[in-house]
């Protein structure tokens, strides 16, 4: 079965990717490259947060309450006005003080300006949560099984790009001053575009 990042890239291919690019003012290739960097980072942060019981419980509750996957049924409508969605709050919770470093690194590596990257992340976060919430319901996962599922997802990406995902792990475990470190992380994780970006 395809991993969640792979499924998300498939969901966002074609017209959805073009719509995202138009919204953030970037061509489709740059947009796809940035998305291919951002999705593993978001998934890695979610897996990290869910590795602790309180984090897994909080995520499971949020998915049950607010993210049933219906966003995927009207993706075009959501992409028409993503800033009205819950992306900003999700990012604050998931990335915390790493958010600015992530945005800076993706900006430097992708060539998108900071505002475009910020909007991209705000767009992607609810889609990731929607896909995860849909999967949670399909698999009837509680907090423990959700944590295990996300660990497996992280390991799937690590098998394909162990060095790159190791650097992402270092970033997410850092003390939040990763302005320099994130540039190296995102440069390395650009390799993931070759794995997830060709659809």
- Average pLDDT by stretches of 10, the chain with 199 residues: 82 91 90 87 89 94 93 93 94 88 81 92 96 95 96 83 60 50 48 49
Side-chain-side CA neighbours of 131 within 13 Å: the count stands at 22
pLDDT at res. 36? 85
Q: What's the structural domain count of the chain?
A: 1
Which pLDDT does position 166 carry in this prediction? 63
Please state, in angstroms and rounded to a whole number, the distance separating the CA atoms of residues 12 and 156: 20
Q: What is the pLDDT of residue 182?
A: 46
Residue 199 resides in a domain: no
Quote the domain boundaries for residue 98.
Answer: 4-194
CA proximity to 54, closest of 119, 146, 117: 146
Take residue 9 and report the two structure tokens written for it: 């890239």
- Quote the pLDDT of residue 168: 62
pLDDT at 33: 86
């Amino acid at each position: 079965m395809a991993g969640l990042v792979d499924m998300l890239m498939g969901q966002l291919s074609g017209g959805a990717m073009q719509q995202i690019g138009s919204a953030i003012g970037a061509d489709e290739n740059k947009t796809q490259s940035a998305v291919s960097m951002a999705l593993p980072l978001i998934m890695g942060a979610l897996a990290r947060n869910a590795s602790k019981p309180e984090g897994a419980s909080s995520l499971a509750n949020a998915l049950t309450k607010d993210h049933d996957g219906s966003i995927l049924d009207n993706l075009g409508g959501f992409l028409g006005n993503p800033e009205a969605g819950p992306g900003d709050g999700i990012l604050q919770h998931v990335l915390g003080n790493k958010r600015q470093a992530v945005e800076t690194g993706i900006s430097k590596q992708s060539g998108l300006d900071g505002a475009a990257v910020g909007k991209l992340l705000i767009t992607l976060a609810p889609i990731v949560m929607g896909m995860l919430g849909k999967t949670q319901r399909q698999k009837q996962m509680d907090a423990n099984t959700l944590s295990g599922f996300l660990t497996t997802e992280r390991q799937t990406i690590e098998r394909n790009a162990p060095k790159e995902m190791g650097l992402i792990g270092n970033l997410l475990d850092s003390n939040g001053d990763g302005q320099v470190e994130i540039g190296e992380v995102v440069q390395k994780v650009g390799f993931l575009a070759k794995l997830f970006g060709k659809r």
